[in-house]
A and B are shown apart, each in its own frame.
Chain A
Amino acid sequence: MVDTTHADEPTTEEIVEGLQKPDESIEKQLEQELKIAQAMSLASVNEHMSGLIPRNHADNILDGRSVEDSMESVSVAVQAALEGVSTKMQGVSNALTREGWRIGGTDIAHQITTLDINGLNSVEIGTTSLDVLEASEDRLTKENELLQARNKRFMDQREVVDPFLEASEITKSKGWKRFFVGTGLASGATVSTIGLATGVGAISLLPGSLIAGGTYLAFAAVRKYVASQREKAKEAEAKKQAHYKKFNEDFLTQLNQRFTEYKMAANLIKEAGEAGRDALLVNIEQSIDMAEDEDRAAMGESLMKLKNQTNILDADINTAASRFPMIAPRTPLSESMKINFLEAVKKVEWIDNMLKVKRELNKREAIDESFMESTQAQEAEFTTQLSGVDALNDYLTNYKSVKEMEVVGIKPFALLEPDAESPSEDELLRDIRRDLAREGFLSDLSDKFTADMTDMAGLAESTDLIFTLHHLFCEHDEFLVDGTIAIPTLQKILTWIYHKDIETRRGVPEVSDLTVELVDDLEDSSSGLFAKGNLILEALDMLELDDLDKHSMSDYETSKDDGKIFVIQIEKIHTKFKKGKNDLPENDQNEFETTFEKFKKHAEYLRDITHEAWKKKKDFDVWKSENIDDPDSEYNTKNSDISRLDDEIAALEGADPRDEDEIARKTSERELLIEFVKTVEDSRPTFNRNSYKRDEKRAAEEFFGGSFEIESKLHSVEGYARDTLYRRIKGSLFEKFEKEMKQKMLDHWEKNDPYKILLALNKKAGKVTVGYLKDIESIRQVSLPSHLDQKKTTEMVLTKNSRDGELEMQSTDGTLLLHLVKPMIHVEKVKRGKNTDILKSLVHNAIIFDRATDGSLSNARETVVTNVEFTS
């Protein structure tokens, strides 16, 4: 608002008009200058106050600045305007100062002040800030109404057309700006701002700008865009189909490959199982043959029980197997061993007969005592039907002993691992001697193993420790399991052998595979050689007429032919390996030839002696037919032979040089003849056919005097084989230990394929239901298969989770330790009604141990744990 208090004062125009009138007096002139200066300063102030400042203020507001900020900004302009006034007035004041005294200084000053203030107050500010702002308000109000209406129109139309856009299944365009070329959008925005600032309608300018600029594209670009999008979608779909097709093909290939591997693994398991069962069958029967009577009874009972059961539990198999420590030194058996054992037992035919007896016995027990006599008679009838099990017959006749049989536990063999540092040989020998020499042991042992102990005493003094160990392990292995050799000593033995093995491997050239294979083959033939050789000796020993007539003859003939066949076999082996001989190092080539020659020599020798024996057999037949009815003639002949031998021996003893071997042989032959003659003389009073048979046998032995020679030479062959064996043991004993001892105890997780175990379990139980572990990281509870003879559910705590997937858990009470090793994803198809599901199992081979209070582990049992997820 303008202050009008001094409205009667002259206006600026009036002052300027008055100044244009000339005045000659100095006072008048000065006064005019003063008024001009005042007018100019006031005009300057007015210019700022009524024009620029309000408009700048309004611009600031429209630009979005706050009112306070804008006032702060324009006050600078006000100050600048006032400075201009001050400058102008300063110029006037200098002039006035010079002449001011002439017109009265105080009056002038009062006049200036009054004029300034009045003049300022009287300034007509044409357009105030309020005016400018109110003018903008009016314009903006109208413009806003138009813009809101326009916007609403667009929105309404959009609402109208949206159903059609949605029906066409287009994607609402967020990137519509791509359809505008160049700077069309930016220029539109700029024009809009200028329009607002200048008060000209932005709406009218906006479309005009877009059309005039030609920058608004549109339809052609959109059509091209949609076409390209369709093409892209088509390509993406084709790519996706190709990807899925390839994925399916790869997956099927992998699946088929995996199934093929599983089939092969299953076949291997099947073959290994059949071989294992056959071997077990032999071992079971041998174990029974070799067992003491009491043990034999327990064995038979356990096998009968097993075979008689319809629902066989794992505990039953383990109990039966525990009767056979040679086969199962440690129970519970592994899964594969259980199956093999059970299948082998099923093949033992005579158990069926025994079972008949046993069942019959059970029936008889229920019958009244009055029928007992007839029952026993029938029982005797059954028992006499059994052949080859005489020892068991005694036992079976005693029904009570069957009932009272007890299971004898087998001492578990502790798990041993070689230590990091090897004991010294002295230390090891000292410990072995200490164990063997414990109180009372040596004397007991000497009664049983006098000869062996003599050997051992010598060996123990030997500096060749490996020979001592070899002897210990080959001849007295019972010491290793019966506690004679203490566990710490066993630990030291294993450790020493383990380190010796490493040392030997490092220092001794490795024997080539070819050589090892050759020696293996030759030794296999050699063992056959020995077996047949022994058969020949047995045949010679069984030269009783009846036996010879029945079966020994055929064996004898076979042996004769075998002698030839051996030579052929060994020559074949030689031919086979000769092809690869040149690939061997020179030393091995020599070894190869030497070995071959030795074996060939022995084979040929056996061939010759069998042939010789065969010829003698023919001669004996003739001899027998000629002399069988005239023992006196034989008696006389023998006496003549004794006289002849006396002469020959005397001649040999007088010869130079003396043939000591021949003297010994003839002396021995003479002694036999003397014994024969003496026997004939002794038996003459009661001579009969039977006693004659015995004499005939002795006569046959005399006739086959060469048989002693054969036997001794066969022993020399065996001696060579032992020699060879020793050499091989010296080179590979450690390796054998590593394989046979360490792996025997640890191969649960070293070799067993979890899937094979799973197959074995499945084969046995049909479907193994084991703990389903939902999340391997959160295992806290494991349901154990029932065949482990363990609590069905045991709380477990995860104690180890190594990066290679090996897990270790122990039960909360600390008595069980569970190893989960070698996780393997197993995938197979499972038919579920009409659908086929993919079954994915995470299979872990697992070993469960018992843990004693001192922390030691024992009684390892195999199992399998899986977590199973079904996906369609």
Chain B
Amino acid sequence: MTNQKDTLENFLRWFLDLEEISVEAKKEFTGHLLEVGGFDDVAATYVDVVMSYLIETSSEQAKRAKEQLDAVQAAIEVEKNPETSLRVKSVREATDKMKDLAQSFKAKLYREEQKKEKGEAAQEQVELDTLKDRLK
């Protein structure tokens, strides 16, 4: 009997130390225990409600944290593999893009040079024709 009493008291001490319970609720709860002089249905229902809430919310949080941890660890394994690494893939794509850009630039430059050479040749022909006319 004494053990039971001690157990319940220890639990209530722990329960009343919970930060999750507001100070006002703790006051009301303690007041009720003193008023009825024991642990009645009302107190039991309250403890049941609070514990149900705490267990459900903490279980959900723990479950979610574990799921996230598992997912991150799986992603790390993928990233460590060069075949599947996001970084390697991204660098490869960027390199290819630069090569394409350079090739494009070279083609454009080549076309400009061709264009200028043709223009200069035509100009030389005009000047040559003009010179020929003058020479006639």
Contact = CB atoms under 8 A, between A and B. Distances in A.
Interface of A: 1, 3, 45, 49, 53-54, 57-58, 61-62, 64, 67, 70-71, 74-75, 78-79, 81-82, 85-86, 89-90, 93, 96-98, 100-101, 105-106, 108-109, 112-113, 116-117, 120-121, 125, 128-130, 133-134, 136-137, 140-141, 143-144, 147-148, 150-151, 154-155, 157-158, 160-161, 163-165, 168-170, 172-174, 176-177, 179-180, 188-189, 192, 196, 202-203, 206-208, 210-211, 214, 216-220, 222-223, 225-227
B65 A216 contact: no
Give 4 closest A-B pairs by Cβ, nearest first: A113-B102, A116-B98, A109-B106, A168-B44
B114 to A, nearest CB: 10
A493 B45 CA distance: 88
Interface residues of B, number: 81
Interface string B24-64: 01001100100000011111111111111111011111101
Contacts of B51: 154, 157-158, 161
Given A67-B75, A86-B97, A147-B62, A160 B110 contact: no
Nearest to A149: B62
Contacts of B28: 218-220, 223
A422 B83 CA distance: 104
Given A97-B109, A140-B68, 16 more contacts: A53-B90, A57-B75, A58-B72, A86-B97, A101-B112, A117-B98, A129-B85, A133-B72, A136-B72, A140-B72, A161-B15, A179-B49, A207-B19, A207-B20, A218-B46, A219-B29
27 contacts: A53-B86, A57-B75, A71-B86, A90-B101, A101-B116, A105-B106, A105-B112, A120-B98, A129-B79, A129-B85, A129-B86, A133-B75, A147-B61, A148-B66, A150-B62, A157-B15, A158-B51, A161-B15, A170-B44, A176-B48, A188-B57, A192-B61, A192-B64, A207-B19, A210-B20, A218-B21, A223-B42
B1 interface: no
Given A116-B101, A218-B25, A219-B28, A106 B44 contact: no
Say whether chain A's binding surface is mostly helix, strand, loop, or mixed: helix
Contacts of B89: 71, 75
B72 A61 contact: yes
A302 B23 CA distance: 106
A222 B40 CA distance: 12
B71 interface: yes
B99 A147 contact: no
Which of B51, B75, B80 is most buried by chain A, counting CB atoms within 10 A of its CB? B75
B65 A143 contact: yes
Given A53-B90, A101-B113, A169-B41, A222 B46 contact: yes
Contacts, number: 263
A172 B48 contact: yes
Contact of B86 (A57, A176, A202): A57
A178 B104 CA distance: 68
Contacts of B98: 85, 113, 116-117, 120
B55 A155 contact: yes
Given A106-B106, A120-B95, A216-B25, A61 B75 contact: yes
B62 A144 contact: yes
Which of B51, B78, B98, B110 is most buried by chain A, counting CB atoms within 10 A of its CB? B98
A100 B42 contact: no
Contacts of A71: 86, 89
A794 B131 CA distance: 143
A148 B55 CA distance: 11
A222 B72 contact: no
Nearest to B19: A207
Interface string B68-93: 11011111101110001111111101
A98 B112 contact: yes
Contact of A170 (B29, B48, B95, B108): B48
B22 interface: yes
A802 B38 CA distance: 68
A57 B76 CA distance: 11
A172 B41 CA distance: 11
B61 A202 contact: yes
A52 to B, nearest CB: 11
B72 A165 contact: no
Contact of B105 (A85, A96, A226): A96
A117 B22 CA distance: 62
B67 interface: yes
A74 B48 CA distance: 47
B110 to A, nearest CB: 7
B7 interface: yes
Given A86-B97, A144-B69, A218-B22, A161 B105 contact: no
A687 B81 CA distance: 165
Given A82-B94, A128-B87, A226-B45, A89 B101 contact: yes
B1 to A, nearest CB: 13
A390 to B, nearest CB: 99
B97 A85 contact: yes
B57 A173 contact: no
Given A67-B74, A116-B102, A130 B49 contact: no
Contacts of B105: 89, 93, 96-97, 108-109, 112
Nearest to B107: A109
A144 B41 contact: no
B49 A125 contact: no
B11 to A, nearest CB: 5
A168 B23 CA distance: 25
Nearest to B69: A140
Contacts of B73: 137
A147 B65 contact: yes
A151 B58 contact: yes
A141 B68 CA distance: 10
A263 to B, nearest CB: 55
A216 B93 contact: no
B93 to A, nearest CB: 6
A177 B15 CA distance: 19
Which of B44, B110, B116 is most buried by chain A, counting CB atoms within 10 A of its CB? B44
Contacts of B49: 173, 176, 179, 218, 222
Contacts of A203: 61
Given A49-B87, A101-B116, A196-B68, A67 B94 contact: no
Contacts of B42: 222-223, 226-227
A165 B97 contact: no
A100 B112 contact: yes
Contact of B32 (A180, A188, A211, A219): A219
Interface in B3-23: 4, 7-8, 10-11, 14-15, 18-23
Nearest to B82: A1
Given A78-B90, A196-B68, A137 B99 contact: no
B65 to A, nearest CB: 4
Nearest to B47: A161
A216 B22 contact: yes
Contacts of A188: 57
Contacts of B32: 219, 223
Contacts of B60: 189
Given A120-B95, A154-B55, A49 B90 contact: yes
